[in-house]
A and B are shown apart, each in its own frame.
Chain A
Amino acid sequence: MTRNAEQAIASTAAADPVEPAALRLPPVPLALKINGEDYFHEGDPAMPLLWFLRDRLRLTGTKYACDSGVCGACTVLVDGAATHACTLRMQAAAGKAVTTIEGLGKSVLHPLQQAWIEEDAVLCGYCQPGQIMAAAALLQRKPQPRESEIDALPNLCRCGAYPRIRSAIQRAAEVMRANAK
């Protein structure tokens, strides 16, 4: 560090009154698990998980679309529960295990991913990772989902692929039940 930079830091510290406690403790990075790997976040704890995934880790399968936890394009699993990454702040994600679309079927496709391909459920494809993650959470809770439970999935698809998404979920559910036997 150069002398000038040191001086600059010293003067900043003098200008901004800092809580003594914060001065004594080094910043504690937030720790979380993403797709089985450990990660640490040292930036703004209020940043939504979405931008950690996309900007920092380049896990771009989790999409940005509505910004307000409505459309589900950013759905990830947090400790197994479908969660909108666009509204989940890093401080709330700390200590949790996050699964993104990239971690759903790591070496072998998840039955949902396979079913999506077989039903050709893709139109523009943008909402589909979120749809698959929401469906994965549903099938974890309800291996044999009722129609009304599929109806209740909140994820939006502007292209209108719903009928094929529904078929893909049903197909995957069958495969998963058969595998479980």
Chain B
Amino acid sequence: MSTLDSAGRRRFLAVSLTATGALLVGWRVARGEPAPADLPLELLGDQLTALGPFVRIERDGRVVIGAPGCEVGQGVFTSLPMLVAEELDVDWSQVRVVQLPWGGAGTANGPGHRYGRQGGVPTDRGADWRLLREAGARVRGLLVQAAAGRWNLAVAELRCAAGKVLAPDGRSLDYGALAAAAANLPPPGAAPALKSPADFHIIGQPTRCADARAIVTGAARFGIDEYIADALVAIIVRCPYPGGRLGRYDDGATRKVAGVVEVLSLPGPLADLPFEGPLAAGVAVVAENTWAALRGCELLETEWQRDAPAASIGELARAAQAMLDASDGGLPVRSEGDFAKARKQARRVIEARYEQPFLAHATMEPPGALVDVRSGRARLFASIEDPDAAATTITRLTGIARNAIDISLPRSGGSFGRRLQNDYVAEAVLVARAVGKPVKLLWRRGDDLAHDFYRPFGVHALAATLDRKARITGWSHRCAATPRTWRNAGREGQPAHTGLLSADGFPAGLVAHLDLRFFPLGSPLPRDPGLRDDDAFEVFATQSFLDEVALAGKRDAVELRLELLGMSSAATPTQIGPPTAATARLAYALTRCAQLVGWGVPRDDGHGIGIACHATADSYLAHGFELAIEGDRLVIYRAVCVADVGRIINPLGVQAGLMGGMLASLSDTLYGAITLKDGQVRQTDFDRYRLLGMGDSPRKVVVEIVPSSAAPTLAPPSVQASVAPALANAVHAASTVRVRKLPLMPELMRLL
């Protein structure tokens, strides 16, 4: 029995029995591969095989399922094994989940994957959704076949429930009792039919985080918690000037610190080439323990060379404004009708500009990696989210073949897209190779904030033309920003506006006369390539501006959006639903959010209500806030998120993700900004890069998930684009102050 994977290679189902009598089922890419060294013992059992296991069923009926994803807080450690368990027909309480390592392998046909896609950027969400359910169904099929043989009944007469095969006459057999027999069966020729969603008993059930106990007892292992014998600790003092070089350095005092073993320089990225290794030149202090490395870094004296200092944010903003002041130029992104003519004929033209800062990811667990690259093999333990790319990095730097690389995937302390990059893996590999020992690289908080792939900086100039009835006839969005494509490997050749001004962002396609133009801005700061459907940058401008247009035309801001979406302005959620078409799904989320946040309800408490909505990659979200400005504080009384993100595997996990994503975006909106002084990033700690705290998080949070039968998005977007404009719109409602520049709090205090 075999099936084809996404690259058209054959995958074989492998079934075996361990010496302790457990059934072990999984995939392998090709016969004769070396056994992966890092398989969790629970899955491997005591018998070394070349399996890439998904499932192990013990003789006593316990079930172990391997989690193939990269857990960064999005809940895949729980949700993906739920897919397997569903089709396996076991009780979730019988299941123990263990993290699988990276399943990349080298085969005669090129790179392969034992467990399907692991982390990285989703290309085909439907494939993950199918593959894991099929894995569960195939194991169930084997067990049913074994039971049919035992009872001498036809397979079609049997059914399964809660870890048992049931016969029509009431007899039943535990999976554990069938494990040995199932292991000796030839695997079925075709995958058994998958369940109808009506029969789901695990998918769609609120399920708590599978390793919550380990987390709350401190036992859970994150990348930073991994230790191996002999490993040295490395901390790198990096050039504070983006694009700068190392001049001379004096490590005399550093080398006197007890425990410091080596001090070595690391080259930075080659000028103008894509960032493929370290982001900055630096000096690595390598020591026997963390404290010695930290002390050694403090005592290191370095001189850095730089060309002209990077422009300050003020200078960058002035350059952007000047570009946008010119009446022409820019790269055309999309043009429909004749905006210039619409402008001449318009009853009114509304215009506004918005500015957004560079943002850091600021994951709670800083970047880092533990690597061993001795004797032709590589071992990597790190909080990463694109292990395939990490393996490619290791091969490129060391020549170690893909099938000689083992990667453990511990939990990650947040990602928000940061861990799709492997610059820190490259650094650890370079240091480990230089010292000839395993190396654990630690990034300090200041290293993390000053050396990131930042969410880009930019200024938006928007203009809308209105007719007599204050309907939008034309829409112009000109954006000057630092392109995400700049020096980002894999983004070369893509247009400069990618991820900053999309051709089909709301309301493009919904107005007759449209003009979208992009003006690239230069800066030496690396940028997030925006692989995560991160539209927050442009949506702050468009959804803020829609409110300004509504206000100027004395229109209701929700009605105006519904009108653009082609919906009756009187529509209510029940009248629109159930949502099917894209615009209807967005309209439903918007109107439901309006209901929940109390849109249009007259109030006398001075609280302001604001709302915004956005659709991205099969996710339709609306956010609403009820807030008040009390002295120099902004108090959010109610925060609402309505999300249509396809079928939900784990409602509790998705709710957590949507709630958390909303609060993380609030943090960025209220406080986040990376600025430059003397060509250096100023924010090097959490005092200067402020994060949302318990005290300023919303008093009440409402997250509502729209029922849907569309393919699941598997992990909800961590960045929620409509948060920032909904907040700015609510601030306007509460104070009549329109904040057009982020971060919001300092700008609001300046304007009040």
Contacts and interface: CB of A to CB of B under 8 A. Distances in A.
Q: Do chains A and B stick together as partners? A: yes
Interface of A: 43-44, 47-48, 51, 54-55, 58-68, 70-71, 73, 100-102, 104-105, 109, 112-113, 116-118, 120, 122-129, 132, 150-166
Given A158-B664, A159-B664, A129 B218 contact: yes
Given A65-B445, A125-B222, 14 more contacts: A43-B291, A44-B291, A60-B218, A63-B364, A101-B216, A101-B218, A118-B208, A124-B365, A125-B73, A126-B222, A127-B364, A132-B216, A161-B660, A162-B694
Contact of A120 (B73, B652, B667, B697): B652
A177 B203 CA distance: 37
Interface in B599-654: 652-653
Contacts of A58: 227
Nearest to A153: B694
B694 A165 contact: yes
B32 interface: no
A48 B291 CA distance: 8
Interface stretch (B7-15, B187-195, B585-593, B685-693): B685-693
Contacts of A116: 212, 215-216
A63 B687 contact: no
Contact of B693 (A44, A66, A154): A154
A122 B215 contact: yes
Nearest to B257: A44
B660 A160 contact: yes
A160 B661 contact: yes
A125 B691 contact: no
Nearest to B663: A160
Contact of B691 (A61, A104, A156, A166): A156
Interface stretch (B142-150, B407-415, B546-554): B407-415
A124 B72 contact: yes
A60 B221 contact: yes
Nearest to A127: B364
Given A120-B652, A120-B656, A160 B686 contact: no
B446 interface: yes
A155 B208 CA distance: 23
A159 B73 contact: yes
Q: Say which size band chain B's interface belongs to.
A: 35 or more
B289 interface: yes
Given A61-B219, A101-B217, A126-B414, A160 B697 contact: yes
Contacts of A159: 73, 364, 414, 660, 663-664
B687 A68 contact: yes
A156 B290 CA distance: 23
12 contacts: A55-B291, A60-B224, A64-B224, A66-B686, A70-B685, A71-B686, A100-B218, A117-B208, A124-B415, A125-B411, A129-B215, A161-B660
B662 interface: yes
B363 A158 contact: yes
B104 interface: no
A163 B698 contact: yes
Contacts of B233: 55
A45 to B, nearest CB: 11
Contact of B215 (A54, A70, A128, A164): A128
B362 interface: yes
A158 B362 contact: yes
Given A55-B291, A116-B216, A124 B227 contact: no
Contacts of B215: 116, 122, 125, 128-129
Contact of B364 (A73, A105, A166): A73
Contacts of A100: 218
Contacts of A67: 444-446, 685
Q: Please report whether the interface of chain A is mostly helix, strand, loop or mixed according to DSSP.
A: loop
A65 B364 contact: yes
A142 B364 CA distance: 28
Given A60-B225, A117-B208, A158-B667, A151 B364 contact: no
A123 B685 contact: no
A160 to B, nearest CB: 3
Contacts of A162: 663, 692-694, 697
B666 interface: yes
B127 interface: no
A48 B295 CA distance: 11
Interface in B675-703: 685-687, 691-695, 697-698, 701
Interface in B330-353: none
A59 B113 CA distance: 34
Nearest to A117: B212
Contacts of B218: 59-62, 100-102, 129
A128 B233 CA distance: 25
B691 A158 contact: yes
B657 A123 contact: yes
A43 B222 CA distance: 27
B79 to A, nearest CB: 13
Given A113-B217, A117-B213, A122-B215, A70 B364 contact: no
B687 A70 contact: yes
Contacts of B211: 125
A152 to B, nearest CB: 6
A161 B697 CA distance: 10
Contact of B224 (A63, A113, A117, A152): A63
B698 A109 contact: no
Contacts of B446: 67
Name the 10 nearest CB pairs between A and B, nearest first. A61-B218, A160-B663, A126-B413, A124-B73, A101-B218, A60-B225, A151-B695, A125-B215, A160-B660, A162-B697
Contacts of A126: 222, 364-365, 411, 413-414
Contacts of B216: 101, 109, 112-113, 116-117, 122, 128-129, 132
A128 B363 CA distance: 14
Contacts of A65: 364-366, 413, 445
A51 B685 contact: no
Contacts of B442: 64
Contacts of A124: 72-73, 363-365, 411-415
A177 to B, nearest CB: 20
Contacts of B413: 63, 65, 124-127
Contacts of A123: 73, 414, 656-657, 660
Contacts of B694: 150-153, 155, 157, 162, 165-166
Interface in B687-721: 687, 691-695, 697-698, 701
